[in-house]
Amino acid sequence: MRDRTSICLCLAAESIEEDLRIAEEHRGRFDLLELRVDRLSAGEAGLAGRLPARVGSPVILTLRRTREGGKFGGSEQERHALLSKLAVSGFAYIDLEEDFDASDLEARVTGRGGRVIRSMHDFTGVPADLARRVTSLAHHPGEIPKAALLPKNAADLVRLLAAFTDLEGVEKILLGMGDTGFPTRVLAPRLGSFLCYTSAARAQAAPGQVDPLTLERTYNFRSITPRTQVYGVIGSPIMHSLSPLIHNRGFAAIGFDAVYLPFLVDDLDGFWPAADCLEIKGLSVTVPHKQAVISRLSGRDRLVESTGACNTLTRAQGKGPWQGTNTDVEGFLAPLRAALGGAIPRGVSATVIGAGGAARAVVHALKAAGARVLVLNRTAERGRELAEAFSVSHAGLDEPGFLQARDFGDLIVQTTSAGMSPNIAADPAPGLAFSGREIVYELLYAPPTTVFLQRALAAGCRVVRGRKMLVGQAMEQFRLFTGSIYPADLRAELEADMD
């Protein structure tokens, strides 16, 4: 087996020349290439044999059928003929599906020193007998078994991680596609996969692939080993998160052997076995789980008690009990103080839109600072519950509520997910008019300027963007995760990028 996992750049453009341009753009950031001949236009496929000699790197030859996620729609006879023609052109590997019986083709590849990758693809989930399936894939000794699965939920991710454990020491390519499976791509060196597939942003070859630069700069991929600790952020949606970039840059700067990943979690209860499989030691928590995670805590501090929300989980051991805190409170307050000249005046009035976990931290912070607060929420009962917990006013996201907000208009805080992908056109409070005198603070940070903020800016309001809060709350999380202060120079760079 290899000492380290290789990075494979998939070439999935419609022409050989474009594939060559992609390879050159990423030169130095991959170990081998995969040529997806099925993605080439009809006139280009026959020319694919020219590529290996021009790139100067090992190349995998792949001609994927439509039912395995490819674009080749011809007959098996036509596929066999094209592969036979290309197999003698200097490819280092050839990827053949588990049911493709072509001994003569395999002999052409192995006779020239090449290797066969024997693959299976499942876009319906992760089979319970995955480890057995993988070990039975190879038709002949020396073939590399490959399984690409599309996990649908946390239970699928757990089965996939269990297969990695069962197959420890076995040469294999094993990966989860899509957002739920994404962590297995980045963790390939820790989990023991032969390679990690990447692709150019403009020619993505499979769901969940990222470009080599992201793998390098955001996830420090080359530094990941079987001993690397795992941290992450859980939520839904989650792939937009900038937290991996913030934390992984900090980890690298202080020499902390860890990686921070986004985990798409819809089923919170089902996620905990996956956290144990990976021995995750710390988690950031975002929408919609900040209240639900509290029931999982063995210990919680006064901030969790007072806000009724938790955005940070830590544990001393990878499978031990979780402790919880809330770094959103200070993360929210620091940018607000700066916007107000260093301090929050007592009696300042504020309208808070939303009643979720983030809103609870905001209302707690504002009330403790002496602000007059109005909560506006679409679901009246939930808004009332939050308001009564902190003895503040409440109303609906409707005309009477918008009229009442005129008396709480020094500060408008938008805490909902409306305006975030995939609902970027959404406005959480379209009937709320801005006079131009308000400070408008939106906790969302992707996109940086939502429809809501566009209206505020057009009215002449000062705005505080959610990226500033993101950085602020992440600094304390980083200290809890690592025991170290986030490097000052990196923090300055991050904060400059937020302006």
Whether omega before 422 lies within 30 degrees of 0, making that bond cis, reads yes
Q: 196: which strand partners?
A: 7
CA 213 to chain centre: 15
Q: Rounded to an integer, what is the distance from CA 475 to the centroid of its chain?
A: 19
For the question of residue 146 being annotated catalytic, the response is no
Question: Which residue in the list 281, 290, 367, 468 is annotated as catalytic?
Answer: 290
Q: Is the dihedral of CA 181, 187, 192, 194 positive or negative?
A: positive
CA distance 380 to 474: 31
Q: What is the 3-class SS of the chain, one letter each residue?
A: CCCCCEEEEEECCCCHHHHHHHHHHCCCCCCEEEEEHHHCCHHHHCCHHHHHHHHCCCEEEECCEHHHCCCECCCHHHHHHHHHHHCCCCCCEEEEECCCCCHHHHHHHHCCCCEEEEEEEECCCCCCCHHHHHHCCCCCCCCEEEEEECCCCHHHHHHHHHHHHHCCCCCCEEEECHHHHHHHHHCHHHHCCCEEEEECHHHCCCCCCCCHHHHHHCCCHHHCCCCCEEEEEEECCCCCCCHHHHHHHHHHHHCCCEEEEEEECCCHHHHHHHHHHCCCCEEEECCCCCCHHHHHEEEECHHHHHHCCCCEEECCCCCCCEEEECCHHHHHHHHHHHHCCCCCCCCCEEEEECCCHHHHHHHHHHHHCCCEEEEEECCHHHHHHHHHHHCCEEEECCHHHHHHHHHHCCEEEECCCCCCCCCCCCCCCCCCCCCCCCEEEECCCCCCCCHHHHHHHHCCCEEECHHHHHHHHHHHHHHHHHCCCCCHHHHHHHHHHHC
Active site residues: 290
